[in-house]
Amino acid sequence: MADHYEVLGVARDASPDEIKKAYRRLARQLHPDVNPGEDAAERFKLVTHAYDVLSDPEQRQRYDVGGDGGFGGGGAGFGGFSDIFETFFGGGGGGTRAGRPRSRRERGQDALVRVDLTLGDVVFGVHRDLEVDTAVLCETCQGSCCQPGTQPVTCDICHGSGQVQRTVRSLLGNVVTSQPCTTCQGYGTTIPYPCSTCQGQGRVRARRTVSIDIPAGVETGLRLQLPGSGEVGPAGGPNGDLYLEVTVEPHDVFSRDGDDLLATLEVSMIDAILGTSVTIDSLDGAVDLDVRAGVQSGDVLTIRERGITPLRGSGRGDLRVGVQVVTPGHLDPKSRALVQELAKRTKPAPPHLAEFHPGLFSKLRDKFKR
């Protein structure tokens, strides 16, 4: 068996790039399409097999230590032509056969619409009628792209195939390739009388109304998909999808924590001492709340199922109300005397340093987030 390095004419320590260059040079000289002689065909087989072995690091290593190298690559013989074609032209051998013509009907593009919601909309969900500027089907031609009463005609250049062939001369001989027909743009047909309304596109720009039920529980940044509600495609192709991107506007009183609503209730010092009942306005109506006697700033009062309906699931979250006891900044003499009398009766402990608790100053926040 001939030495692979001698067949390619390279040294045993030749680099992969040197081996590839040698193979290209010999392939140009010996390929059957260029040199049809029997001797050239046999040499081409040897060159191809040698390159298959030496271009593969594992096979080359086995060959160098005494193995036969095998036929792990493209194999000897004329089957290596596709590899050579790819090396020189970047594609498969034998030229490109004419394929089917392109379809004028294509899927429409997706559309994105931003929707602003209030926190109240999020509690139960909301219905919206949205005005969307998009592409719609041309009513004149109904997507045919032709003037009414006319139709596309077969291209007289490519005869309906959408492609034309041309012959390229190369070192390997004549190679036949195919490319889209420039007359019909690869469609296989031409439109001699385009629709005057849509200029032969089969669609026009227009505003249309899209009705959508936005579910409860959505939040800022969420995208809702409406399949088939986007732009109609060229030549009346299927519609793309419509995406709604949600933005929830901040509320002056309530904020959101998952499916719960958070609020702050300011309570006077007297009400905090004695306790009281109050009616507050939630996002879906008035609700009674009992403030127990001795409530402290940072305590959280929970009203069950007055929060947000989950996006996926049932029931509702809670309304959590954080208490903030308001100490009067100014007292008239009589009120001050009453407070002093209360102090004498209750004898409160004087201010003193107590055990340090991390996060004491964010007590209210921590209770909200527990």
pLDDT per 10-residue tile (average), the chain, 370 residues: 84 90 84 70 82 86 66 39 42 45 92 93 92 93 95 93 80 75 92 95 93 92 92 94 94 92 93 93 91 91 92 88 90 88 80 60 51
146 labeled binding residue: no
What contacts 24+ positions apart, CB below 8 Å, involve 34-37? 34/171, 34/172, 34/173
Q: Which residue has the tokens 């034998």?
A: 94
* 273 domain residue, yes or no: yes
Mapping DSSP to helix (H, G, I), strand (E, B) and coil, where does residue 307 land? coil
In a domain, 307, yes or no: yes
Q: Of 27, 42, 63, which marks where a domain is finished?
A: 63
User: What is the Cα–Cα distance from 41 to 26, expressed in whole angstroms?
Assistant: 12
198 is known to lie in a ligand binding site = yes
- Give me the pLDDT at residue 73, please: 39
The confidence score (pLDDT) of residue 347 equals 78
- The answer to whether the annotation marks 145 as part of a ligand binding site is no
Task: Characterize the bridge pairing of strands 111-117 and 242-248.
Answer: parallel
58 φ/ψ angles, rounded to the nearest 5 degrees: -70, -45
Residue 98 makes CB contacts below 8 A (sequence gap 6+) with 161, 162, 163, 165, 178
97-130 core/surface letters (b: 16 or more CB in 10 A; e: else): ebeebbebeeebebbebebebebebbbeebeeeb
Which CATH number is 313's domain given?
A: 2.60.260.20
**Amino acid 78: pLDDT:** 38
15 lies in some domain: yes
**Residue 185 domain-assigned?**
no
pLDDT value at residue 45: 81
Q: Is residue 57 part of a domain?
A: yes
pLDDT of residue 352: 72
Write down the pTM of the prediction.
Answer: 0.59
Could you give the number of structural domains in the chain?
2
CA angle (33 as vertex; 59, 18 as ends), nearest 5? 35
Which phi-psi region, left, alpha or beta, contains residue 133 (left: φ > 0; alpha: ψ -120 to 50)? beta
Does 158 show up as a binding residue in the annotation? yes
Per-residue confidence (pLDDT) for residue 66, from 0 to 100: 66
pLDDT (0 to 100) of residue 43: 83
Helices (H) and strands (E) in the chain, counts: 9, 15
Q: Confirm if 37 and 50 have CB atoms less than 8 A apart.
A: no
- Angle (CA) 209 210 213, round 5°: 140
CA distance 278 to 285: 14
Domain region containing 318: 254-348
Among 34, 63, 92, the domain-final residue is 63
Note whether residue 365 is domain-resident: no
**Residue 191, SS3?**
coil
Asked if residue 231 is part of any domain, the answer here is: no
- Residue 138, marked binder: yes
CATH number of the domain encompassing residue 43: 1.10.287.110
Contact 237, 106 (CB under 8 A): yes
User: pLDDT value at position 170?
Assistant: 64
Q: Which tokens sit at 128?
A: 């919206």
Q: What is the DSSP-derived secondary structure letter of residue 91?
A: S
Residue 169 within a domain: no
| Cα–Cα separations (whole angstroms), residue 297 to 207, 271, 292, 369 | 54, 12, 12, 16
Q: Are 106 and 235 in contact (CB under 8 A)?
A: yes
Rounded-to-integer distance, Cα 94 and Cα 88, Å? 13
